[in-house]
Chains A and B, each alone.
Chain A
Amino acid sequence: MQNLLELKGVSRRVSDRFSLRDVTLAVEPGQIVGFVGANGAGKTTTIRAALGLIKLDAGEVRLFGQRCGADAPDETQRHLRSRVGLVLDTCPFPSTLKVGQVESLVGPAYPTWDRETFAGFINRFGLDPKTKVKGLSRGMGMKLQLACALSHNAKLLVLDEATAGLDPMAREELLDELLAFVADGQRSVLLSSHITSDLDRAADRVICIDNGSIVFDLPREDITDRAGIAHCTQAQAAELMACVEGTRAARHAYSVDVLVSNHREVLEAFPEIPCDRATIDDYLRFMLKGALK
């Protein structure tokens, strides 16, 4: 099936200290793709590139199979953007507007806007149409954005740090909405976050970016079900790293933690070494900071 979003070799110099370098990623239908990385790693810049908000030095962006960069013709951009919903970390609507007025701001832009759907979400999310945007909490602001993003029959949802600052209940609600959104197998979500526990539950793939380059792009099961952390002595770590390919180590005062790609194989081959499953957080830490074998 056709990818809903595809970035191929995208490069863009942002400042003297930061550039996107050869970023390649794809979002397939029916997937929630977690996009992780440290603050300033390039997540938002990649999303800006994907949405055609910045011009590229190299590479191309494809939305729903069609080229859609900042240089794409207006008509193409209009058509493709009408199928994308966006949720940002802060509520982007002018603060003097009321919740009910946001519809007249965003709705006219979408040919497929459904007033009843929007009213339904406002009602379901417990948003008061008379409340001003500046009076909304962070969670309510996110829900208002989500209501807008889901009211025009979007095929692709892009969430940029949308879960940052939300309480666990609000995060849970958001993840439930996202899982329902992709349930038909036709729609997808690109979820940028540095809260990796959200992705443990919802993501199908995890893509990590660091310093403007993609570090890994893996199915979530490869991290949370297959990968593991072996807790070794110095000697065990040396032996393990000599035998197993692609390991990474984090050295402590009296022990060494080793990231392995298949914890079951390690447990079979080295039964004396305790080996736990890795979380996305562990994996990220090892990949970004751990020493390569």
Chain B
Amino acid sequence: MKRAIMSELAIVRTLVPSIAGVGLFIFVVLTAVRASNGDSDMSAAGAFAISAMSPIMAMTSLAGLDNQNGWERYRATLPISRKDIVSARYLCITIFSVIMTCAAVLLSIVAIPILNSVGIPSTGETVFETAIASAISMLFSLMAVFLVLPLFFRFEHMKAQRLSVGLYALYMCLIMVTLNSFNPISNHLMSMIAGANPDPSVLGFLCAGIAALATVVLGAVSCAISTKVYWARNL
């Protein structure tokens, strides 16, 4: 397993500059646009965007490299089991996403005094709220990635990408419907757990905790399915 992770990390390392570059660009653009509109949460929006896009970018980039030059077939001949290859992929996407989210939150924190110094005071989210919201963005995005990742292990990249668009749409609809339908119930549950007038930080932790739990469960199920389909696949 360690060998598979090290091999996978070698590729992930090469992706960091390009994905970080895209992330930085999006961060700057979003922050600038929102600052020019007078929005108070200008730098937080960039952090949310980077956190949400990192898992998807990592997954599609790694899947794209798998199909490049027959690397996937060559990798299957290395002394690494297919189960380890799949597990390493899940782990590396998660690690990469967490690192990118931390970097995005840091960037957001660093941006506040810079924006203040140019006369755009930030009155929006606190650092804690930015961090929790970024983490939740990342977790929701990770769930979407875990939902479609078995497709990338089953089919070649282009086909998986086509199919995954449908699944993403389904996932977004499901989230909307779930949030709408269960809002009164979830509010009730939250107030039961956190009290009638809960502290926003407690609520934030609770939401992040629930999202993390859901991500871990979905990740475990998805990893098991991916292992099964990848093991059966002829390369």
The digit string for A104-129, where 1 denotes a CB below 8 A from any CB of B, is 11101111000000000000000000
Asked if B191 lies at the interface with its beta carbon under 8 angstroms from chain A, I say no
Tell whether, in the assembled complex, residue B71 and residue A92 are in contact, meaning their CB atoms are under 8 Å apart: yes
Tell whether, in the assembled complex, residue A77 and residue B70 are in contact, meaning their CB atoms are under 8 Å apart: no
Within 8 A of B (CB), among A246-292: none
Tell whether, in the assembled complex, residue B234 and residue A94 are in contact, meaning their CB atoms are under 8 Å apart: no
Tell whether, in the assembled complex, residue A93 and residue B71 are in contact, meaning their CB atoms are under 8 Å apart: yes
Task: Provide the main secondary structure of the chain B interface.
Answer: helix
Tell whether, in the assembled complex, residue A88 and residue B14 are in contact, meaning their CB atoms are under 8 Å apart: no
Interface residue count for A (Cβ, 8 Å)? Answer: 33
Within 8 A of A (CB), among B147-203: none
Tell whether, in the assembled complex, residue A95 and residue B70 are in contact, meaning their CB atoms are under 8 Å apart: no
Q: CB < 8 Å: which of B71, B73, B79, B235 contacts A77?
A: B79
Task: Give A7 Cβ to nearest chain B Cβ, in Å.
Answer: 16
Residue of A nearest to B64 (CB): A94
Q: CB < 8 Å: which of A74, A81, A91, A97 contacts B78?
A: A81
Residues on B with C-beta less than 8 A from A8 are none
Interface residue count for B (Cβ, 8 Å)? Answer: 27
Segment with Cβ contacts to B, from A46-54, A183-191, A195-203: A46-54
Tell whether, in the assembled complex, residue A74 and residue B81 are in contact, meaning their CB atoms are under 8 Å apart: yes
Tell whether, in the assembled complex, residue A96 and residue B77 are in contact, meaning their CB atoms are under 8 Å apart: no
Segment with Cβ contacts to A, from B2-10, B43-51, B123-131: B2-10
Tell whether, in the assembled complex, residue A92 and residue B73 are in contact, meaning their CB atoms are under 8 Å apart: yes
Given A54-B234, A105-B7: A92 touches B79 (CB 8 Å cut-off): no
Tell whether, in the assembled complex, residue A48 and residue B79 are in contact, meaning their CB atoms are under 8 Å apart: no
Tell whether, in the assembled complex, residue B11 and residue A53 are in contact, meaning their CB atoms are under 8 Å apart: no
Tell whether, in the assembled complex, residue B69 and residue A94 are in contact, meaning their CB atoms are under 8 Å apart: yes
Residue of A nearest to B9 (CB): A104
Tell whether, in the assembled complex, residue A97 and residue B14 are in contact, meaning their CB atoms are under 8 Å apart: yes
Residues on A with C-beta less than 8 A from B11 are 94, 97, 105
Residues on A with C-beta less than 8 A from B81 are 74, 77-78
Tell whether, in the assembled complex, residue B80 and residue A109 are in contact, meaning their CB atoms are under 8 Å apart: yes
Tell whether, in the assembled complex, residue A105 and residue B10 are in contact, meaning their CB atoms are under 8 Å apart: yes
Tell whether, in the assembled complex, residue B69 and residue A82 are in contact, meaning their CB atoms are under 8 Å apart: no
Asked if A41 lies at the interface with its beta carbon under 8 angstroms from chain B, I say no
Asked if B117 lies at the interface with its beta carbon under 8 angstroms from chain A, I say no
Residues on A with C-beta less than 8 A from B7 are 104-106, 108-109
Residues on B with C-beta less than 8 A from A94 are 11, 14, 65, 68-69, 71
Could you list 12 A-B pairs, sorted by A, with CB under 8 Å?
Answer: A48-B73, A51-B77, A74-B81, A78-B80, A80-B79, A81-B77, A84-B77, A92-B74, A94-B65, A97-B11, A105-B7, A110-B78
Which residues in B have some Cβ–Cβ distance to A below 8 Å?
2-4, 6-7, 10-11, 14, 65, 68-71, 73-74, 76-84, 232, 234-235
